[in-house]
Protein backbone atom coordinates (compact mmCIF):
# COMPACT_ATOMS: atom_id res chain seq x y z
CA UNK A 1 0.00 0.00 0.00
CA UNK A 2 1.00 3.59 -0.56
CA UNK A 3 0.76 6.70 1.60
CA UNK A 4 1.09 10.04 -0.10
CA UNK A 5 2.61 12.74 2.08
CA UNK A 6 2.69 15.63 -0.42
CA UNK A 7 0.40 17.59 1.90
CA UNK A 8 2.62 17.03 4.99
CA UNK A 9 6.24 16.18 4.10
CA UNK A 10 5.79 17.99 0.78
CA UNK A 11 4.59 21.12 2.55
CA UNK A 12 7.92 21.17 4.43
CA UNK A 13 9.63 22.07 1.14
CA UNK A 14 10.99 25.63 1.18
CA UNK A 15 8.57 27.88 -0.67
CA UNK A 16 5.55 25.59 -0.27
CA UNK A 17 2.46 26.48 1.79
CA UNK A 18 -0.88 25.05 0.72
CA UNK A 19 -4.08 27.05 1.03
CA UNK A 20 -7.15 25.01 2.09
CA UNK A 21 -8.27 24.99 -1.55
CA UNK A 22 -4.86 23.70 -2.74
CA UNK A 23 -5.03 20.95 -0.12
CA UNK A 24 -8.47 19.99 -1.34
CA UNK A 25 -7.53 19.94 -5.04
CA UNK A 26 -4.38 17.91 -4.47
CA UNK A 27 -6.14 15.55 -2.06
CA UNK A 28 -8.93 14.85 -4.54
CA UNK A 29 -6.41 14.24 -7.36
CA UNK A 30 -4.47 11.84 -5.10
CA UNK A 31 -7.67 9.99 -4.32
CA UNK A 32 -8.38 9.62 -8.04
CA UNK A 33 -4.99 7.97 -8.49
CA UNK A 34 -6.05 5.59 -5.72
CA UNK A 35 -3.41 6.06 -3.02
CA UNK A 36 -4.37 4.14 0.11
CA UNK A 37 -3.50 6.85 2.64
CA UNK A 38 -3.18 10.61 2.45
CA UNK A 39 -1.04 12.26 5.12
CA UNK A 40 -2.93 15.52 5.02
CA UNK A 41 -0.83 17.84 7.17
CA UNK A 42 0.37 18.75 10.65
CA UNK A 43 -2.56 20.71 12.17
CA UNK A 44 -0.48 22.18 15.02
CA UNK A 45 1.66 24.10 12.51
CA UNK A 46 -1.08 26.58 11.61
CA UNK A 47 -4.86 27.09 11.97
CA UNK A 48 -5.12 27.25 8.18
CA UNK A 49 -3.59 23.78 7.87
CA UNK A 50 -6.13 22.47 10.37
CA UNK A 51 -8.90 24.08 8.33
CA UNK A 52 -7.61 22.61 5.06
CA UNK A 53 -7.31 19.12 6.54
CA UNK A 54 -10.82 19.38 7.92
CA UNK A 55 -12.08 20.37 4.46
CA UNK A 56 -10.37 17.33 2.98
CA UNK A 57 -11.74 14.97 5.64
CA UNK A 58 -15.24 16.28 4.88
CA UNK A 59 -14.90 15.13 1.27
CA UNK A 60 -15.28 11.51 2.36
CA UNK A 61 -12.52 10.29 0.05
CA UNK A 62 -11.68 6.61 -0.37
CA UNK A 63 -8.18 7.13 1.00
CA UNK A 64 -7.63 7.01 4.75
CA UNK A 65 -6.59 10.41 6.08
CA UNK A 66 -3.72 10.70 8.54
CA UNK A 67 -2.49 13.78 10.42
CA UNK A 68 1.02 14.33 11.68
CA UNK A 69 1.54 15.05 15.37
CA UNK A 70 4.26 15.37 17.96
CA UNK A 71 3.96 13.13 21.02
CA UNK A 72 1.93 15.84 22.76
CA UNK A 73 -1.68 15.89 23.89
CA UNK A 74 -2.05 19.45 22.58
CA UNK A 75 -1.05 18.34 19.04
CA UNK A 76 -3.43 15.37 19.23
CA UNK A 77 -6.28 17.66 20.32
CA UNK A 78 -5.84 19.60 17.08
CA UNK A 79 -5.80 16.37 15.07
CA UNK A 80 -9.11 15.46 16.72
CA UNK A 81 -10.60 18.74 15.50
CA UNK A 82 -9.96 17.70 11.89
CA UNK A 83 -11.92 14.45 12.42
CA UNK A 84 -9.23 12.52 10.54
CA UNK A 85 -9.29 8.85 11.58
CA UNK A 86 -5.49 8.39 11.81
CA UNK A 87 -2.70 10.16 13.65
CA UNK A 88 1.00 9.70 12.91
CA UNK A 89 2.92 10.39 16.13
CA UNK A 90 6.70 10.72 15.98
CA UNK A 91 9.54 11.05 18.45
CA UNK A 92 13.25 10.44 18.06
CA UNK A 93 14.65 8.05 20.66
CA UNK A 94 18.27 7.75 19.56
CA UNK A 95 20.89 8.24 22.28
CA UNK A 96 22.09 11.34 20.47
CA UNK A 97 18.63 12.97 20.29
CA UNK A 98 17.68 12.09 23.84
CA UNK A 99 20.82 13.43 25.45
CA UNK A 100 21.94 16.30 23.20
CA UNK A 101 18.61 17.53 21.84
CA UNK A 102 15.86 16.85 24.36
CA UNK A 103 17.87 16.29 27.55
CA UNK A 104 15.67 13.40 28.63
CA UNK A 105 16.23 9.69 29.35
CA UNK A 106 14.89 6.78 27.34
CA UNK A 107 12.49 6.12 30.22
CA UNK A 108 11.17 9.69 29.93
CA UNK A 109 10.72 9.24 26.18
CA UNK A 110 8.87 5.97 26.64
CA UNK A 111 6.47 7.61 29.13
CA UNK A 112 5.91 10.48 26.69
CA UNK A 113 5.13 8.05 23.87
CA UNK A 114 2.85 6.01 26.12
CA UNK A 115 0.92 9.07 27.20
CA UNK A 116 0.45 10.32 23.63
CA UNK A 117 -0.51 6.93 22.20
CA UNK A 118 -3.00 6.17 24.99
CA UNK A 119 -4.49 9.65 24.69
CA UNK A 120 -4.94 9.25 20.92
CA UNK A 121 -6.33 5.73 21.19
CA UNK A 122 -8.59 6.82 24.04
CA UNK A 123 -10.09 9.37 21.68
CA UNK A 124 -10.75 6.78 19.01
CA UNK A 125 -7.83 7.52 16.71
CA UNK A 126 -5.88 4.88 14.84
CA UNK A 127 -2.22 5.39 15.57
CA UNK A 128 0.99 5.13 13.59
CA UNK A 129 4.14 5.65 15.62
CA UNK A 130 7.49 6.65 14.10
CA UNK A 131 10.75 6.57 16.02
CA UNK A 132 12.15 9.42 13.93
CA UNK A 133 15.69 8.87 12.57
CA UNK A 134 15.04 5.15 12.96
CA UNK A 135 17.98 4.12 10.80
CA UNK A 136 20.49 5.86 13.09
CA UNK A 137 18.85 4.82 16.36
CA UNK A 138 20.50 2.19 18.58
CA UNK A 139 18.76 -1.17 18.29
CA UNK A 140 18.22 -1.45 22.08
CA UNK A 141 16.31 1.83 22.01
CA UNK A 142 14.22 0.77 19.04
CA UNK A 143 13.49 -2.55 20.64
CA UNK A 144 12.26 -0.86 23.82
CA UNK A 145 9.97 1.41 21.82
CA UNK A 146 8.65 -1.38 19.63
CA UNK A 147 7.83 -3.52 22.68
CA UNK A 148 6.01 -0.62 24.26
CA UNK A 149 3.95 0.40 21.24
CA UNK A 150 3.02 -3.19 20.54
CA UNK A 151 1.73 -3.47 24.08
CA UNK A 152 -0.18 -0.21 23.64
CA UNK A 153 -1.80 -1.59 20.51
CA UNK A 154 -0.58 0.93 17.93
CA UNK A 155 -1.90 0.12 14.48
CA UNK A 156 1.33 0.76 12.56
CA UNK A 157 4.96 1.61 13.10
CA UNK A 158 6.98 3.58 10.60
CA UNK A 159 10.71 3.19 10.00
CA UNK A 160 12.05 6.57 8.94
CA UNK A 161 15.35 7.07 7.19
CA UNK A 162 15.14 10.71 8.19
CA UNK A 163 18.55 11.73 6.83
CA UNK A 164 18.31 9.62 3.66
CA UNK A 165 21.58 7.93 4.45
CA UNK A 166 20.65 4.26 4.84
CA UNK A 167 22.18 1.56 2.66
CA UNK A 168 19.45 -0.49 0.94
CA UNK A 169 20.76 -3.79 2.33
CA UNK A 170 21.04 -2.43 5.86
CA UNK A 171 17.55 -1.02 5.57
CA UNK A 172 16.30 -4.39 4.34
CA UNK A 173 17.81 -6.06 7.42
CA UNK A 174 16.37 -3.47 9.79
CA UNK A 175 12.87 -3.73 8.34
CA UNK A 176 13.01 -7.51 8.45
CA UNK A 177 13.92 -7.35 12.11
CA UNK A 178 11.07 -4.95 12.87
CA UNK A 179 8.49 -6.92 10.87
CA UNK A 180 9.06 -9.78 13.34
CA UNK A 181 7.41 -7.71 16.07
CA UNK A 182 4.11 -8.33 14.33
CA UNK A 183 3.04 -4.69 13.89
CA UNK A 184 2.29 -3.61 10.30
CA UNK A 185 5.34 -1.71 9.04
CA UNK A 186 5.34 1.61 7.16
CA UNK A 187 8.55 3.12 5.73
CA UNK A 188 9.53 6.74 5.12
CA UNK A 189 12.68 7.13 3.02
CA UNK A 190 14.44 10.42 2.37
CA UNK A 191 16.46 10.94 -0.78
CA UNK A 192 19.62 12.71 0.40
CA UNK A 193 21.79 10.05 -1.28
CA UNK A 194 19.37 9.39 -4.14
CA UNK A 195 18.58 6.01 -2.53
CA UNK A 196 15.01 6.67 -1.33
CA UNK A 197 13.25 4.46 -3.88
CA UNK A 198 15.88 1.72 -3.61
CA UNK A 199 15.42 1.69 0.16
CA UNK A 200 11.63 1.63 -0.17
CA UNK A 201 11.76 -1.32 -2.58
CA UNK A 202 14.10 -3.21 -0.26
CA UNK A 203 11.69 -2.51 2.60
CA UNK A 204 8.86 -4.04 0.60
CA UNK A 205 11.05 -7.09 0.00
CA UNK A 206 11.60 -7.26 3.77
CA UNK A 207 7.86 -7.20 4.52
CA UNK A 208 6.89 -3.53 4.85
CA UNK A 209 3.27 -3.05 3.77
CA UNK A 210 3.02 0.73 3.46
CA UNK A 211 5.42 3.15 1.74
CA UNK A 212 5.44 6.95 2.03
CA UNK A 213 5.88 9.06 -1.10
CA UNK A 214 5.19 12.57 -2.37
CA UNK A 215 4.27 13.91 -5.78
CA UNK A 216 7.49 14.89 -7.59
CA UNK A 217 9.42 13.63 -4.55
CA UNK A 218 9.16 16.96 -2.73
CA UNK A 219 9.87 17.35 1.00
CA UNK A 220 12.55 18.57 3.41
CA UNK A 221 15.97 18.96 1.71
CA UNK A 222 16.20 16.42 -1.16
CA UNK A 223 12.70 15.14 -0.45
CA UNK A 224 11.43 11.57 -0.25
CA UNK A 225 10.30 8.79 -2.61
CA UNK A 226 8.56 10.09 -5.75
CA UNK A 227 4.97 8.79 -5.93
CA UNK A 228 5.02 8.23 -9.69
CA UNK A 229 8.30 6.33 -9.56
CA UNK A 230 7.04 4.19 -6.70
CA UNK A 231 3.76 3.34 -8.43
CA UNK A 232 5.65 2.70 -11.70
CA UNK A 233 7.97 0.27 -9.91
CA UNK A 234 5.08 -1.43 -8.11
CA UNK A 235 3.36 -1.95 -11.46
CA UNK A 236 6.39 -2.97 -13.48
CA UNK A 237 8.16 -5.16 -10.95
CA UNK A 238 5.30 -6.41 -8.79
CA UNK A 239 2.33 -6.36 -11.19
CA UNK A 240 0.30 -4.12 -8.88
CA UNK A 241 -2.38 -2.72 -11.18
CA UNK A 242 -4.77 -1.06 -8.74
CA UNK A 243 -3.46 2.51 -9.11
CA UNK A 244 -4.51 4.84 -11.96
CA UNK A 245 -1.07 5.42 -13.46
CA UNK A 246 -2.48 7.37 -16.40
CA UNK A 247 -3.53 10.13 -13.99
CA UNK A 248 -0.05 10.64 -12.54
CA UNK A 249 1.21 13.10 -15.13
CA UNK A 250 -1.69 15.51 -14.59
CA UNK A 251 -1.19 15.15 -10.82
CA UNK A 252 2.50 15.97 -11.17
CA UNK A 253 1.67 19.05 -13.25
CA UNK A 254 -0.95 20.14 -10.71
CA UNK A 255 1.60 19.95 -7.87
CA UNK A 256 4.19 21.77 -10.02
CA UNK A 257 1.67 24.51 -10.66
CA UNK A 258 0.54 24.85 -7.05
CA UNK A 259 4.07 24.72 -5.56
CA UNK A 260 5.87 26.58 -8.33
CA UNK A 261 8.52 23.82 -8.25
CA UNK A 262 9.22 22.25 -11.62
CA UNK A 263 10.73 18.81 -12.09
CA UNK A 264 13.95 18.75 -14.14
CA UNK A 265 13.64 17.56 -17.78
CA UNK A 266 15.28 14.21 -17.02
CA UNK A 267 13.03 13.43 -14.03
CA UNK A 268 11.73 9.87 -14.39
CA UNK A 269 8.30 9.40 -15.99
CA UNK A 270 6.95 12.96 -15.53
CA UNK A 271 9.97 14.99 -16.71
CA UNK A 272 9.79 16.83 -20.04
CA UNK A 273 12.23 14.37 -21.68
CA UNK A 274 11.12 11.15 -19.99
CA UNK A 275 9.49 9.87 -23.19
CA UNK A 276 11.45 11.84 -25.78
CA UNK A 277 13.79 10.03 -28.18
CA UNK A 278 16.64 11.76 -29.95
CA UNK A 279 19.43 9.60 -31.42
CA UNK A 280 18.64 8.35 -34.94
CA UNK A 281 19.42 4.79 -33.89
CA UNK A 282 16.89 4.97 -31.08
CA UNK A 283 14.22 6.65 -33.19
CA UNK A 284 14.42 4.11 -36.02
CA UNK A 285 13.74 1.38 -33.45
CA UNK A 286 11.09 3.28 -31.49
CA UNK A 287 8.95 4.15 -34.50
CA UNK A 288 8.70 0.41 -35.16
CA UNK A 289 8.10 -0.55 -31.56
CA UNK A 290 8.43 1.84 -28.58
CA UNK A 291 9.40 -1.00 -26.25
CA UNK A 292 12.92 -0.97 -27.71
CA UNK A 293 13.59 2.16 -25.64
CA UNK A 294 10.64 2.49 -23.25
CA UNK A 295 10.21 0.15 -20.28
CA UNK A 296 6.48 0.86 -20.46
CA UNK A 297 4.75 2.85 -23.19
CA UNK A 298 4.38 6.60 -22.56
CA UNK A 299 0.59 6.27 -22.59
CA UNK A 300 0.70 4.09 -19.46
CA UNK A 301 1.50 7.25 -17.52
CA UNK A 302 -0.74 9.61 -19.47
CA UNK A 303 2.20 10.88 -21.52
CA UNK A 304 2.90 11.37 -25.21
CA UNK A 305 6.00 10.08 -26.97
CA UNK A 306 8.12 12.79 -28.61
CA UNK A 307 10.69 12.44 -31.37
CA UNK A 308 13.29 15.16 -31.12
CA UNK A 309 15.11 16.46 -34.19
CA UNK A 310 18.65 17.77 -34.35
CA UNK A 311 21.88 16.58 -35.95
CA UNK A 312 21.56 13.23 -34.14
CA UNK A 313 18.50 12.52 -36.29
CA UNK A 314 18.42 9.70 -38.82
CA UNK A 315 16.44 9.09 -41.96
CA UNK A 316 13.58 7.55 -39.98
CA UNK A 317 13.32 10.63 -37.77
CA UNK A 318 12.71 12.86 -40.78
CA UNK A 319 10.44 10.34 -42.45
CA UNK A 320 8.38 9.98 -39.26
CA UNK A 321 7.72 13.69 -38.94
CA UNK A 322 7.05 14.38 -42.62
CA UNK A 323 4.63 11.49 -42.84
CA UNK A 324 2.52 13.16 -40.19
CA UNK A 325 2.23 16.18 -42.51
CA UNK A 326 1.34 13.87 -45.39
CA UNK A 327 4.72 14.21 -47.06
CA UNK A 328 6.43 11.07 -48.40
CA UNK A 329 9.27 11.89 -50.74
CA UNK A 330 12.67 10.18 -50.48
CA UNK A 331 14.50 13.01 -52.21
CA UNK A 332 13.14 15.56 -49.76
CA UNK A 333 13.96 13.30 -46.81
CA UNK A 334 17.59 13.03 -47.93
CA UNK A 335 17.94 16.75 -48.55
CA UNK A 336 16.39 17.61 -45.18
CA UNK A 337 18.57 15.08 -43.40
CA UNK A 338 21.69 16.74 -44.86
CA UNK A 339 20.43 20.13 -43.73
CA UNK A 340 19.63 18.93 -40.19
CA UNK A 341 22.97 17.16 -39.88
CA UNK A 342 24.94 20.21 -40.82
CA UNK A 343 23.27 22.33 -38.14
CA UNK A 344 23.65 22.43 -34.38
CA UNK A 345 20.17 23.70 -33.68
CA UNK A 346 17.00 21.64 -33.18
CA UNK A 347 14.13 21.58 -35.69
CA UNK A 348 10.47 21.49 -34.72
CA UNK A 349 8.23 19.14 -36.74
CA UNK A 350 6.51 22.23 -38.17
CA UNK A 351 9.83 23.71 -39.31
CA UNK A 352 10.71 20.42 -41.00
CA UNK A 353 7.39 20.33 -42.84
CA UNK A 354 7.79 23.94 -43.94
CA UNK A 355 11.30 23.25 -45.28
CA UNK A 356 10.00 20.17 -47.07
CA UNK A 357 7.22 22.10 -48.73
CA UNK A 358 9.69 24.77 -49.86
CA UNK A 359 11.90 22.10 -51.36
CA UNK A 360 9.01 20.61 -53.25
CA UNK A 361 7.84 23.83 -54.92
C1 LIG B 1 9.55 15.32 10.26
C2 LIG B 1 10.47 14.10 10.18
C3 LIG B 1 9.87 12.94 9.43
C4 LIG B 1 8.81 12.23 10.24
C5 LIG B 1 8.29 10.95 9.64
C6 LIG B 1 7.11 10.35 10.35
C7 LIG B 1 11.08 12.01 9.13
O8 LIG B 1 9.56 16.13 9.34
O9 LIG B 1 8.84 15.48 11.25
O10 LIG B 1 6.52 10.98 11.22
O11 LIG B 1 6.75 9.20 10.02
O12 LIG B 1 11.58 12.05 8.01
O13 LIG B 1 11.52 11.31 10.04
O14 LIG B 1 9.34 13.37 8.20
CU1 LIG C 1 10.45 13.00 6.49
* pLDDT of the residue at 99: 98
Side-chain-side CA neighbours of residue 81 (13 Å): 19
132 Cα–ligand 2 center, Å = 8
Nearest-atom number in ligand 1 for the CA of 133 is 13
Kindly give the parts of the chain with pLDDT less than 70: none
What are the tens digits of pLDDT across the range 198-213?
999 999 999 999 999 9
Q: How far apart are CA 348 and CA 346, in angstroms?
A: 7
What are the tens digits of pLDDT across the range 167-177?
999 999 999 99
Nearest-atom number in ligand 1 for the CA of 5 is 14
* pLDDT of the residue at 227: 99
* pLDDT of the residue at 304: 98
Q: In a mutational test of the pocket of ligand 1, which residue from 42, 66, 130 has the highest number of ligand atoms less than 8 Å from its CB?
A: 130
Query: Which residues approach ligand 1 with their CB closer than 6 A?
Result: 9, 12, 68, 88, 90, 130, 132, 158, 160, 162, 188, 190, 220
* pLDDT of the residue at 183: 98
Q: How far apart are CA 181 and CA 178, in angstroms?
A: 6
* pLDDT of the residue at 22: 97
Is the pTM here over 0.95, yes or no? yes
Q: Minimum-distance ligand to the CA of 135?
A: 1
* pLDDT of the residue at 350: 97
170 Cα–ligand 2 center, Å = 19
What are the tens digits of pLDDT across the range 37-59?
999 999 999 999 999 999 999 99
**Domains of the chain, CATH where assigned:** 2-243 (3.20.20.70), 276-360 (no CATH)
N-term to C-term CA, the chain? 60
Amino acid sequence: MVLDSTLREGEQTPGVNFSPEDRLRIGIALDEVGVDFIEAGHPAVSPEILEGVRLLVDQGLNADILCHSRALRSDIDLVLKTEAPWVGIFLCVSRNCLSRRFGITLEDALRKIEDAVLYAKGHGLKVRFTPEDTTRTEWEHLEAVLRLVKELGVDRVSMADTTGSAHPLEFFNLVRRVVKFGIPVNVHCHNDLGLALANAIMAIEAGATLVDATVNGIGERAGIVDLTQLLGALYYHYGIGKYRLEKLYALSRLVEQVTGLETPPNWPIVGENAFTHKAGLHVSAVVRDPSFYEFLPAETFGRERRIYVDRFAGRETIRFHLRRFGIEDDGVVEALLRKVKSSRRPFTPEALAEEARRMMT
